[in-house]
Structure 1
Amino acid sequence: MIVYISGVNDNPFSPYPSYMRVLMNCVAFALCFSNKTLFAILYFFSFFCDGLDGWFARKFNQVSTFGAVLDMITDRVSTACLLALLSQLYRPGLIFLSLLGLDIASHWLQMYSSFLSGKTSHKDVKDKSNWLLKAYYGQRLFMAFCCSGSEVLYIILFLLAGNQSESVLDVCLNAMKQSSLLSLILCLTLIGWGIKQVVNIIQMKTAADSCVFYDMKRSR
Structure 2
Amino acid sequence: MPSTSFFGRHDNVYLYVPNLIGYARLAFAFYGFAVASTHPGYMMACYALSFVCDELDGRFARMLGQTSTLGQVLDMVTDRVATSCLLATLCVLYPRWQVLFLALLSLDIFSHWFQMFSTGARGNTTHKDVESRSVVVRFYYRNRIFMGFCCVCCEVLYLALYALAWPRYRALAVGRLPAAAVRLLHPWVAPHVAKALARPISLPVAIAAAAAPGAIIKQFVNVIQLRNAADTLVKLDLEKRA
CA–CA distance in 2 between the matches of 1:109 and 1:80? 16
> C-alpha offsets along residues 181-206 of structure 1, whole Å, 9 cap, x if unaligned?
65553232101110000000000000
| Aligned: 1:112 with 2:117 | yes
CA–CA distance in 1 between the matches of 2:158 and 2:7? 40
| Aligned: 1:76 with 2:74 | no
Aligned to 1:67: 71
Aligned to 2:227: 205
Instruction: Classify 1:188/1:217 alpha carbon distance in 2 versus 1 (closer, same or farther; 3 Å).
Output: same
**Mind listing any 5+ residue stretches in structure 2 that lack a counterpart?**
11-15, 168-191
Aligned to 1:132: 136
Instruction: Classify 1:6/1:194 alpha carbon distance in 2 versus 1 (closer, same or farther; 3 Å).
Output: farther
Q: Determine which structure has more spread, i.e. the larger CA radius of gyration.
A: 2
CA–CA distance in 2 between the matches of 1:15 and 1:177? 49
Q: Give the letter aligned to residue 34 of structure 2.
A: A
Count of residue correspondences:
207
CA–CA distance in 1 between the matches of 2:119 and 2:76? 14
- Secondary structure in 2 matching 1:84: helix
1:49 is displaced (CA, Å) by 1.3
Residues 32 and 42 of structure 2 are in contact (CA less than 8 Å); yes or no, is this contact kept in structure 1?
yes
Residues 164 and 204 of structure 2 are in contact (CA less than 8 Å); yes or no, is this contact kept in structure 1?
no
* Structure showing the higher strand proportion among its residues: 1
1:41 to 41, 45, 49: 45
Residues 24 and 43 of structure 1 are in contact (CA less than 8 Å); yes or no, is this contact kept in structure 2?
yes
1:178 is displaced (CA, Å) by 2.4
Residues 177 and 183 of structure 1 are in contact (CA less than 8 Å); yes or no, is this contact kept in structure 2?
no
Aligned to 2:172: none
Aligned to 2:59: 55
CA–CA distance in 1 between the matches of 2:119 and 2:160? 34
1:8 is displaced (CA, Å) by 3.3
Instruction: Classify 1:34/1:182 alpha carbon distance in 2 versus 1 (closer, same or farther; 3 Å).
Output: closer
Query: What stretches of structure 1 move > 6 A for 4+ residues in a row?
Result: none
**Mind listing any 5+ residue stretches in structure 1 that lack a counterpart?**
164-169
Instruction: Classify 1:146/1:195 alpha carbon distance in 2 versus 1 (closer, same or farther; 3 Å).
Output: same
Instruction: Classify 1:61/1:9 alpha carbon distance in 2 versus 1 (closer, same or farther; 3 Å).
Output: closer
CA–CA distance in 1 between the matches of 2:116 and 2:197? 38
CA–CA distance in 2 between the matches of 1:158 and 1:6? 45
Aligned to 2:126: 121
Q: Give the letter aligned to residue 77 of structure 2.
A: I
Q: Percent identity?
A: 41
Aligned to 1:187: 209
| Aligned: 1:219 with 2:235 | no
CA–CA distance in 1 between the matches of 2:57 and 2:211? 23
Instruction: Classify 1:23/1:35 alpha carbon distance in 2 versus 1 (closer, same or farther; 3 Å).
Output: same
